[in-house]
Amino acid sequence: MNGEKFYITTPIYYPSDKLHIGHSYCTVAADAMARYKRLRGYDVMFLTGTDEHGQKIERIATSQGVTPKQYVDKIVDGIKALWKDLDISYDKFIRTTDDYHVEAVKKIFKALYDKGDIYKSEYEGWYCTPCETFFTERQLVDGKCPDCGREVEKVKEESYFFRLSKYQDRLIEHIENNPGFISPQSRQTEMISNFLKPGLDDLCVSRTSFKWGIPVDFDPGHIVYVWVDALSNYITALGYGTEHDELYKKYWPADVHLVGKEIVRFHTIIWPAMLMALDLPLPKQVFGHGWLIIDGGKMSKSKGNVVDPKVLVDKYGLDSIRYFLLREVAFGQDGNFTNEALIQRINSDLANDLGNLVSRTVGMIEKYFGGTLPYEQDSTEFDTDLIKTSGETVKKFEGYMDKMLFSDALSELWALIRRTNKYIDETQPWVLCKDAEKTPLLAGALYNVAESIRIISIMLQPFMPNAPKAIWQQLNINDERLREWDSIRKWGLMAHDLTVKKGPALFPRIDMKKELEELETALKAAQAESIANKTAKEENGKEEFNEITIDDFAKIQLVTGEVIASEAVKGSKKLLKNTVKMGDETRTILSGIAKYYTPEEMAGKKVVVVANLAPRKMMGEVSHGMILCAEDADGNLSLVSNDKGFGGGFEVR
């Protein structure tokens, strides 16, 4: 045990009812690294969790008729269940709704304010709600979000700002003086030339137009910007900002923040600047991995190309999926996910190379020696090279793992697996067995193969939670010392008179054609089920949370209205400003319907208005009420009208 600490984090996930295989990629990688470090004797802290605040969550919850907390509570359980299915060995799971986190973030915000690094001003610019990101006019691409390509909203709010610009030079200096801080190198170049060199603007770090977030406790109404809230998790999870900060003292700074490439920017600019402002040490490394791509685009639920990790695991087994994710694509680069590639890897690397090696070895020991090798053994002329390859593989494997080059590490390991298979072909046990004088040679050869398998099984552990154990069972490796990491540096540790016992095939071969058809059906069924569940949940949710009494209904004052004028709201693509006559009263009511009705079409419309809604400010205009609309499955809006065309001011019941 070297006892040195190793702190690794994944991003904290937005609660989504269906995390896809792309999300699992990052967590599986972090898990492989955490397991590897534990095996190397490190004292590991592996953190993951959920990022639960923000306007996006608030809107979804509202649309489902539940509170944001009710919404996230249900989803977080599902996320934890998925990590269980994938055997993710995290040490801590943080939720940004956890009390200790909320309190610590308030303190962090206040500390930055007291220091003068946060100041109050007014924000006017663009906001992408799905990405929870602010953009300046020049950052937009064709008027849309440069990250996801979706519509952005103009926001104008009194806000707090973080003096990000102040840290620009220190950040550049830190990045340049610490090669490896941003990995891979290409991401460092991107951050410096695309973001840091052009100049940093101060960052808007509070919002006032919604409520679901951590309040700025010295200025009610302001909510801490969700990225400031989220990034802080890496230290609050360790107890930073509380009386119990022992874990913080022990594990911070993080050894590696593992993140997808699109959020490297937040982790290598905003987060280090926040830490600098707090006078805290910076993480040692931010590793930006690539995306798992399907059909040429990043996977996303909205694109309907979700690949359900649970379906894949149930069908092919956990080890195969974890292996595929980390073997197929060089970590850091984007890679395609296809079912063909997955089955191909299972058949060739797992069933053929690894599975066959184990089953033929155990099979031969049983066949030629009744399951137990004799003591008397001789070396063959091929031994030296096998033993040398094994030693070299260990070194290369460790070298790649230390750099998180998982695919390279696995490729080295498979070279040893293939070398071992080749050794069997070279020594030809099926020929040796025919000559009684050669029995010691035969026994020696099979011993070497078994020893090589033992060494391979130990290196497989970070990637595969199950196969190594199955191998140990078949080779009867019960002694802990034969399973320890350091035992792979020494050849010949297993007892020479080892006894084996054949078990089920580690990785059965798959009929590609049949499987592709079945898989397609299973994935479709899972998608259909998830949609059905969602609908059922929504319906149940409505019963559970939305049932109201007639007295509740009476609180809502619905009144007919007549739109007498309508105009677009400056700077907004969504909003129309309507002048609505309701009896004697005329009101200004804003509606997000500009995509569906022109101002000309609106004029003269007979509508239904929620009359006693609290006034709400949007884009500098105040709306006094809400015009009711229906929304169809494609998101088209239709005004709710009264079919006899009553004029304004009549009660709707």
- CB closer to ligand MSP out of 270 and 455: 270
Comparing CB distances to ligand MSP, the nearer of 282 and 563 is 282
CA angle 40, 42, 46 (to 5 degrees): 115
Encoded tokens for 269: 């600019």
Q: Which is nearer to ligand MSP, 310 or 502 (CB)?
A: 310
Q: Is 256 in the site for ligand MSP (CB under 6 A)?
A: no
DSSP 445-468: HHHHHHHHHHHHHHHHTTT-SSHH
Whether 569 and 575 have beta carbons less than 8 Å apart is answered as: yes
CB of residue 329 vs ligand MSP: minimum separation in angstroms?
Answer: 10
Is the Cβ of residue 12 or residue 254 nearer to ligand MSP in the bound state?
Answer: 12
Give the residue among 74, 68, 100, 86 at the shortest CA–CA distance from 21: 86
Binding test (CB under 6 A) with ligand MSP, winner from 7, 8, 18, 26: 26
Q: Which is nearer to ligand MSP, 231 or 442 (CB)?
A: 231
Q: How far is the CB of 271 from ligand MSP (least distance, A)?
A: 8
Phi-psi region of 238 (alpha: psi -120 to 50; beta: other; left: phi over 0): alpha
Q: Does residue 18 contact residue 299 with C-beta atoms inside 8 Å?
A: no
Stretch that binds ligand MSP, among 56-64, 230-238, 455-463, 468-476 (CB under 6 A): 230-238
Residue 299 or 432 having the CB closest to ligand MSP: 299
**Does the footprint of ligand MSP cover residue 230 (CB under 6 A)?**
yes
Between 234 and 463, CB nearer to ligand MSP: 234
CB 376 within 8 A of CB 440: yes
Q: Tell me if 128 sits within 8 A of 136, measured CB to CB.
A: no
Using alpha carbons, select from 634, 625, 627 the residue that is nearest to residue 594.
627
- Minimum Å gap between C-beta 51 and ligand MSP is 3
Judged by CB under 6 A, the stretch of 229-237, 425-433, 484-492, 594-602 that binds ligand MSP is: 229-237
Pairing of β 286-289 and β 182-183: parallel
Cβ 258 to ligand MSP shortest distance, Å: 8
Which residue's Cβ lies closest to ligand MSP?
260
- What torsion, rounded to 10 degrees, do the Cα atoms 19, 25, 29, 31 define? 20
Q: How far is CA 154 from CA 119, 228, 353, 425, 451, in A?
A: 22, 21, 57, 69, 65
Number of Cβ within a 10 Å radius of residue 73: 15
Rule CB under 6 A: choose which of 6, 7, 14, 46 binds ligand MSP. 14
Instruction: Check binding of 286 to ligand MSP (CB under 6 A).
Output: no
Stretch 397-436 residues interacting with ligand MSP (CB under 6 A): none
Does 51 bind ligand MSP (CB under 6 A)? Our answer is yes
Minimum distance of ligand MSP from residue 299's CB (angstroms): 4
Residue 13 in the binding site for ligand MSP (CB under 6 A): yes
Q: Quote the CA–CA distance of 247 and 250 in Å, as a whole number.
A: 5
The distance from CA 267 to its chain's CA centroid, rounded to whole angstroms, is 15
Backbone dihedral angles phi then psi of residue 232, each to the nearest 5 degrees: -60, -20
Q: Which of 108, 112, 282, 292 binds ligand MSP (CB under 6 A)?
A: 292
Site residues for ligand MSP, 260-279, by CB under 6 A, read: 260, 262-263
12 binds ligand MSP (CB under 6 A): yes
Stretch that binds ligand MSP, among 254-262, 320-328, 383-391, 422-430 (CB under 6 A): 254-262
Least distance CB 268 / ligand MSP (angstroms): 12
- Residue 288 sits in the site that holds ligand MSP (CB under 6 A): no
Residue range at the interface with ligand MSP (CB under 6 A); choices 6-14, 560-568, 570-578, 609-617: 6-14
Other beta carbons within 10 angstroms of residue 636's beta carbon come to 11
Strand order, beta sheet including 182-183: 92-95, 43-50, 5-13, 256-260, 286-289, 182-183
Applying CB under 6 A, which part among 8-16, 361-369, 547-555, 569-577 lies near ligand MSP?
8-16
Which of 105/453 has CB closer to ligand MSP? 105
Answer whether the bond into residue 184 is a cis peptide, omega within 30°. yes
- 4: which residues sit within 8 A by CB, 6+ positions away? 41, 42, 43
* Binders of ligand MSP in range 139-168 (CB under 6 A): none
Sole binder of ligand MSP in the list 22, 184, 213, 561 (CB under 6 A): 22
Helices 356-369 and 406-427 pack at an angle, to 10 degrees, of 30
Please, which residue, 61 or 453, has the CB nearer to ligand MSP? 61
Binding residue for ligand MSP, selected from 7, 46, 126, 291, defined by CB under 6 A: 291
Q: Closer to ligand MSP by CB, 162 or 507: give it.
A: 162
Pick the closest to residue 412 from 391, 427, 426 (CA basis).
391
Of 235 and 416, the one with the shorter C-beta distance to ligand MSP is 235
Least Å distance between CB 280 and ligand MSP? 16
Binding part of the chain for ligand MSP, among 18-26, 383-391, 447-455, 594-602 by CB under 6 A, reads 18-26
The whole-angstrom separation of Cα 107 and Cα 650 is 51
Nearer to ligand MSP, 23 or 101 (CB): 23
Placement of tokens 């479709």 in the chain: 524
Among 175, 299, 351, 519, binds ligand MSP (CB under 6 A): 299
Residue 4 binds to ligand MSP (criterion: CB under 6 A): no
Instruction: Give, rounded to a whole angstrom, the gap between the first and last alpha carbons of the chain.
Output: 74
Give min distance, CB of 542 to ligand MSP, in A: 27
Residue 404 to residue 212: CA distance in whole angstroms? 37
* CA nearest neighbour of 477 among 461, 460, 462, 455: 455
Size of residue set near ligand MSP by CB under 6 A: 20
Q: Got the DSSP string for 52-97? A: --SHHHHHHHHHHTS-HHHHHHHHHHHHHHHHHHTT---SEEEETT
* Nearer Cβ to ligand MSP (100/491): 100
| Nearest residue (CB) to ligand MSP, 260 versus 283 | 260
Angstrom distances, CA of residue 588 to CA of 609, 626, 649: 11, 10, 15
Stretch that binds ligand MSP, among 114-122, 259-267, 476-484, 565-573 (CB under 6 A): 259-267
Which of 259, 313, 417, 445 forms a contact with ligand MSP (CB under 6 A)?
A: 259
256 contacts 287 by C-beta, under 8 angstroms:
yes
Q: Does 23 bind ligand MSP (CB under 6 A)?
A: yes
Q: How far is the CB of 26 from ligand MSP (least distance, A)?
A: 5
Residues that bind ligand MSP (CB under 6 A): 11-14, 22-23, 25-26, 51, 230-231, 233, 259-260, 262-263, 291-292, 298-299
